[in-house]
Amino acid sequence: MNFKNTNSERSTVTRDTINFEEKTGNLYESIVVMSRRSNQIASELKEELTSKLHEFASSTDNLEEVFENREQIEISKYYEKLPKPVAIAMSEMLEDKINVRKIEE
């Protein structure tokens, strides 16, 4: 999924918990679903960021010669400005983009 083009908020927004409760029938179950989705998003973003930063990593690391890699700094700044994984998971939940399956005992 492309997290860069999401319409999630980049700042804190007050939400009505009733909207989340309506999605699964239980507020706490909705929180667990959003938490798990948030962890998935965070790990995907971390893998993507690590792979991009690894492209610009220098193979010679000296303690005497420390320099700033401009490309790495710009990539890091870009990823810092993206919405947080929790905000993305909340907007996905409200837009019915998350499929919730219950395992019956």
pTM of this prediction? 0.81
CA-atom Rg of the chain in angstroms:
18
Total domain count, the chain: 1
Please tell me the distance from the alpha carbon of residue 62 to that of residue 91, in angstroms, as a whole number.
44
The verdict on residue 102 lying in a domain is no
Among 1, 2, 3, which Cα is nearest to 88's? 3
The verdict on residue 81 lying in a domain is yes
The verdict on residue 3 lying in a domain is no
Angle at 75 between CA 55 and CA 90, to 5 degrees: 120
User: pLDDT by residue (tens digit) across 44-92?
Assistant: 999 999 998 888 776 665 554 456 678 888 888 998 999 999 999 999 9
The verdict on residue 69 lying in a domain is yes
Distance from the first to the final alpha carbon of the chain: 32
Per the structure, the complete domain to which residue 81 belongs is given by 14-58+65-94
**What's the whole-number average pLDDT of the chain?**
85
- Give the mean pLDDT of 81-105: 88
Phi, psi of 68 (to 5 degrees): -90, 135
Residue 30 scores a pLDDT above 80:
yes
* Per-residue pLDDT at 68: 65
The verdict on residue 99 lying in a domain is no
The verdict on residue 37 lying in a domain is yes
The verdict on residue 9 lying in a domain is no
* Per-residue pLDDT at 12: 82
Please tell me the distance from the alpha carbon of residue 71 to that of residue 84, in angstroms, as a whole number.
22
* Per-residue pLDDT at 92: 92
* 101 within 8 A of 41, measured Cβ to Cβ: no
Length in residues, the chain: 105
The verdict on residue 77 lying in a domain is yes
